[in-house]
Amino acid sequence: MFKLTNKIAIITGGGSGIGRAISILFAKSGAQVHIFDFDLAAATKVVEEIEGEGGIATAHFCDVANQEQVLSLVSKLESIDILVNNAGISNIGKVDNTSESDFDRVYQVNVKGAYNLLYACIPIMKRQAGASIINMASIAAHIGLTDRFAYSMSKGAIFAMTLSVARDYIDSNIRCNSISPARVHTPFVDGFIAKSYPGQEAEMFKKLSDSQPIKRMADPEEIASLALYLASDEASFITGNDYPIDGGFIKLNN
């Protein structure tokens, strides 16, 4: 079950964190993986890891906010069976201390970046027998998170875009779903803690982990497993849904 044999998959932000885990798992499941990432060195390292295990993958330098660049890369692919819109950045701040430049930066990567990939890929997908799109949203699309105004805005947009795309292309057999993780233990989290709380890394890691009812952060591989199911033919009856994977954060954290 949950095989992606010979399917062509684009994964944005596949060079690290959740994207890396998805890229590796999809390749192990038989997909030909194309990693679109701003950090080509990181993406290339993931490709080498995949190829070392017998998988097929290619790394592409890509600024997802640049539509011309996205269109050029996507046009080189004859088919696209799976798109994972995973690339994203965060920002800390309330509305009154979020600068215009920070707001625009989050919008350009998280919202316009997803739009650019959808805009480029869907015409190709419409010519095929079907496709699966997975957008990476967040629990921030469902509940209020302190000091995450711009980030929450972007993930709320991803959630709404998912519903719109699912509705508009259901007759083309293009499925579109989103995943809403809570905190996931990635290098980004470790870097954020080290930068913001020097000397208190262990204490802050425990505090952030304990803020979730399950008392830990998710592993990237757990998010990847859900993405694999949604991308697979076994999920062919599923579209227009968002899947919180949050250790009980949304429903139990009160």
Catalytic residues: 151
How far does CA 85 lie from the centroid of its chain?
Answer: 5
User: Within a 10 A sphere around the Cβ of 47, how many other Cβ atoms?
Assistant: 23
User: HSE (CB half, 13 Å, CA atoms) of 170?
Assistant: 12
Single out the residue of 107, 192, 118 nearest to residue 156, CA to CA.
Answer: 107
Instruction: Work out the number of other CB atoms within 10 angstroms of the CB of residue 79.
Output: 14
Q: Measured between alpha carbons, how far is 176 from 83 in angstroms, rounded to an integer?
A: 9
Count Cβ atoms within 10 A of the Cβ of residue 208 and give its class: 0-12 exposed, 13-18 middle, 19 or more buried: middle
Rounded Cα–Cα distance for residues 151 and 45 (Å): 28
Residue position matching structure tokens 């970046």: 113
d(CA 95, CA 116): 26
CA distance 90 to 153: 11
